[in-house]
Amino acid sequence: MRWAIAIMRNLNFQDSESSAHLCALFSKETGWPGRVLALWLALLLGGVRVLSAAVIGTNSPALPITRERIAALPVNQQASWREYLNHSDRQLIADQSFFFGEMRKHAVKETIVPPEGHSDSRLPLSKAQKWYGETEALRMADIVISFQTPAGGWSKNLDMTQHRRAPGELFSHDNASKYIADLDHDLPRHGHWSYVGTFDNDATIKQLRFLAKVIAAVGNEKDAPYRAAFLHGIEYVFAAQFPNGGWPQVWPLQGGYHDAITYNDDAMIKGLELLTEVAEGHNEFAFVPGPIRELAASSVRRGIDCILETQIEAAGRRTVWCQQHDALTLRPTSARNYEMPSQCGSESAGVRMFLMRLPNPNARTMATIDSSAAWFEKTKLRDVAWKAAGEQGRELIPTPGAGPLWARYYEIGTDHPIFGDRDKTIHDNVSEISKERRNGYSWYNERPQRALEQYRRWKDAYPRARAKRD
């Protein structure tokens, strides 16, 4: 009854109606008589407090990439990591020197905060091709170029429809959390210099895709500034890639969890998708020079190797991925206070769907896809829904016929859902975390179902390769 216990950990059964719901669900699942189930349920409910604890752990901060940690790596890995870190440090100094030199040159006394927005809604990518060569698109493209950092990337949450960046205007909006406290995992290392060049929230990737569409629409006579910005941005993507093939959330490195290999919000996967299209050179990427396309193809291969290496193994079986993995050890690591090392349902679904789109997957890739699919089948919940439940906000509610549903985080080794809070506590019952976090985060989702549906089609596409491997 593992699935039943998983539900028990996250449901409150304080009344007869809830108990009746559970009996009905269990009877449907097991075929047991109602009287037997009622007795079993009474016994189980009596032991609920044993199954659940108010706090089952504390979320420790992720470690940044440092020279001391690099020195502990195998000797044959140290040189590439030292050069990577040195490059990041040099670029950070160059970016900041450019900005503060600009302020002195233009006699700007105080920094200017740019307008806030969201890149996914401010840079359209689904317009007709003709639109990208017209006045409004070109105006936006000029704004995009003006906010490109000296390193070649972009920040997140910027409104790129209003005006070109002015001298002394920051490259990033105020991206700091409203809940920052002492020793918070999200505390910026450089004050207001945060997320200056990032892949978070689709930043950098969205700008590159937009510029590519503009380049394809305007033709060779007018594309020079956009082409230069695009190629500079692709070089930024190459420079940010770790020696082991992963990508951080922020580059130049910002420290903390930002230095980890980042699957969160599909950051690394969206970058790999872009580089795959660049390498192929189709459609709006036909202008990309051959040498850059070859580098993109190599970058994608290294990224895939990183994905395969970071698949979590627990209790002798391969499962899925964490939202972020330590760049040097590849182990699952934490991010924000409430994001703990774990097996992650949503982001792992995105990783699997990317792998299933690869042409001619090798045996190792196919085994990775198969094992992660088995984990998703094992951990899905049925007959429950994540929805509002009165003044307390969202809860996991018995709902016959609902699902399948997956938790965002699962404890490594047990596959039990776990939940974090802003005070870094880890819980096994979503009802025990603060109302603000319970209502302000996606603790359950249905995304893995799309990955399982794609998996069924994918299996049929490679019967010969599968038979040969087996």
Three-class secondary structure of residue 230 per DSSP: helix
Q: Among the options 336, 394, 422, 438, which is catalytic?
A: 336
The tokens for 452 are 């399982």
- H or E, element range at 277: helix 267-280
Half-sphere exposure (Cβ direction) of 121: Cα atoms closer than 13 Å: 5
DSSP letter (8 states) at residue 173: -
Structure-block tokens of residue 295? 């580098």
Please identify which residue in the block is written with the tokens 């307008």. 115
For residue 376, what are its two tokens?
Answer: 């998703």
The residues, ordered by sequence, that sit 6+ positions from 191 with a Cβ below 8 Å of its Cβ are: none
CB atoms within 10 A of CB 185: 20
Within 10 angstroms of residue 357's Cβ, the number of other Cβ atoms is 12
Residue 70 phi/psi, 5° resolution? -60, -35
Gyration radius from the chain CA atoms: 24
Instruction: Dig out the tokens for 152 from the structure.
Output: 């070649």
Active-site annotation holds for 336: yes
Task: Check if 201 is active-site.
Answer: yes
- Pairing of the two strands 394-398 and 384-388: antiparallel
Query: Which of these is catalytic: 175, 201, 244, 429?
Result: 201
Neighbours of 45 (CB within 10 A): 15
Q: How far is CA 335 from CA 63, 245, 357, 409, in A?
A: 10, 20, 28, 13
Is there a contact between 410 and 347 (Cβ–Cβ < 8 Å)?
no
**3-state class of 332 per DSSP?**
strand
CA distance 87 to 94: 10
Number of Cα atoms under 13 Å in the Cβ half of residue 469 = 15
Helix or strand or coil: residue 319? coil
What is the C-alpha separation between 125 and 140, in angstroms, rounded?
Answer: 12
Catalytic residues: 201, 336
